[in-house]
Structure formats: structure tokens, C-alpha cells
Amino acid sequence: MKKDLHPANYRLVVFKDMSNDYAFLTKSCIEAKETIQWEDGNEYPLVKLEISHTSHPFYTGKMKLVDTAGRIDKFRSRYNKK
């Protein structure tokens, strides 16, 4: 295996699904600007997700429309002109 291929800064990070407020703690090396206090009382970096396995239609079996940052409105306004 190549040397120095994998990042060395793995740490515990909280990922939070903003559509249903589900959060989970796991190891990651992703950069985070915010922090959150977890159930154990410690503060961890926070990464906000638009969708996770608790809100994705494939895993839930339910179709759910998630409009983030007005993407649907942008699409409609772009193609309604024609």
C-alpha cells in the first residue's frame, strides 16, 4: 500500500439530517465549521446533511419531496421561459 495515502486526522464527528433532526456520531476527517454538544456531554464537530438513510425514499419506502435552496423553483423558472 502507498505511504501517506489515507488522512491522519480522523476524529469523532456528528452528522445531522436537517430534514428530520436525526443525528449520529461516527469517525470522519471531514472539515466542519460548527460544533454540537452530544448526548455524552462532549462537544463534537457538526456536519449538516440534507438527506440521510432516515429520510431517503429508498430506505423509508415513502416518497418525500425535499426542496433545498429552491432547486425546484430554479428549475421551473429556467424551463418555463421556453
> Tens digit of pLDDT for each residue in 18-63?
888 889 999 999 999 999 999 999 999 999 988 877 776 665 666 6
**Number of domains the chain contains:** 1
Above 90 in pLDDT, residue 66?
Answer: no
For residue 28, is it within any domain?
yes
Helices (H), 1-82: 57-60, 71-80
For residue 55, is it within any domain?
yes
Q: pTM to 2 decimals?
A: 0.65
For residue 5, is it within any domain?
no
Range of the domain at 38: 11-80
Of the candidates 12, 21, 23, which has an alpha carbon nearest to the alpha carbon of residue 45? Answer: 12
Half-sphere exposure of 34 (CA within 13 A, CB side): 10
